[in-house]
Amino acid sequence: MLHVGHIISPYSRGLPKTGQTLSRRTGDDGETELGWWIGRLNVNNKERFVLHLSNPDDIVIDRATGLLWPRNWTGLGGDSGFENQWHTCIDWANNLDWKGYDDWRLPNILELGSLVDSATSNPAINTVVFSNVNVGTTWSSTDYHWFANNARVIRWLDGIQSYGVQTLLKFHVAVRTA
């Protein structure tokens, strides 16, 4: 539970912050900044994305989800600028040994979707935090149960989630739990 003044608020547990920081009146979203991370209520936990201390140029920690992501999506923790089929991407991520970690994997659709920034487009992701995100589609590890041989994707041009045939070529990125 989050403490707001003297009130304990269960309402924001598990929900993302809206990003509003300007307060127009007492008790509005700009004042409380409720959401995944505590925000202004804890001065040391104000930012959602922070750079990993031992790999500050390469790895980003998402405090909202507890996930580690590569900062440069066309680097070794990302697609290196090449598209691949879904099965190949899963194998690549599962076998990735990068920056001292060997437990990387392809993110599921909810993990990947948590990075969509609806306030931006082309790409629909925070480009101050993440670099070289291709605006094409990126595979998730989630298959699409309605159609055999399909998997869920996100198109970073606009943040739209959809699905694609697993034999098509798409971009990919690795993730791991912090």
Same domain, 32 and 86: no
Query: Is residue 68, in this structure, part of any structural domain at all?
Result: no
Same domain, 23 and 86: no
> How many distinct structural domains can be found in the chain?
2
Same domain, 101 and 140: yes
Same domain, 160 and 93: yes
- Per-residue pLDDT tens for 117-132? 888 888 999 998 999 9
Same domain, 41 and 78: no
Structural tokens at position 118:
């609806």
Same domain, 27 and 89: no
Same domain, 82 and 41: no
Q: What is the pLDDT of residue 56?
A: 60
Query: Is residue 67, in this structure, part of any structural domain at all?
Result: no
Domain span including residue 14:
2-45
pLDDT tops 50 at residue 13: no
Query: In percent, how much of the chain has pLDDT > 70?
Result: 74
Residue of 52 and 42 predicted with greater confidence: 52
Q: What is the pLDDT of residue 65?
A: 81
Query: Is residue 52, in this structure, part of any structural domain at all?
Result: no
Beta strand segments in the chain, E: 2-4, 7-9, 49-51, 59-62, 67-70, 137-143, 150-155, 160-165, 176-177
Query: In percent, how much of the chain has pLDDT > 90?
Result: 53
Instruction: Evaluate if pTM is beyond 0.85.
Output: no
Query: Is residue 77, in this structure, part of any structural domain at all?
Result: yes
Query: Is residue 98, in this structure, part of any structural domain at all?
Result: yes
Query: Is residue 61, in this structure, part of any structural domain at all?
Result: no
Same domain, 120 and 166: yes
CATH number for 83? 3.10.100
> Considering only CA atoms, which of 64, 67, 2 is closest in space to residue 34?
2
Query: Is residue 51, in this structure, part of any structural domain at all?
Result: no
Query: Is residue 66, in this structure, part of any structural domain at all?
Result: no
If you ran DSSP here, which 8-state letter would residue 111 be given? H
- Per-residue pLDDT tens for 45-90? 567 788 876 766 799 988 778 889 999 999 989 999 899 999 999 9
38-47, 97-106, 118-127: which has the highest mean pLDDT?
97-106
Mean pLDDT of all residues belonging to the chain = 81
Contact call for residues 158 and 122 (beta carbons, < 8 A): yes
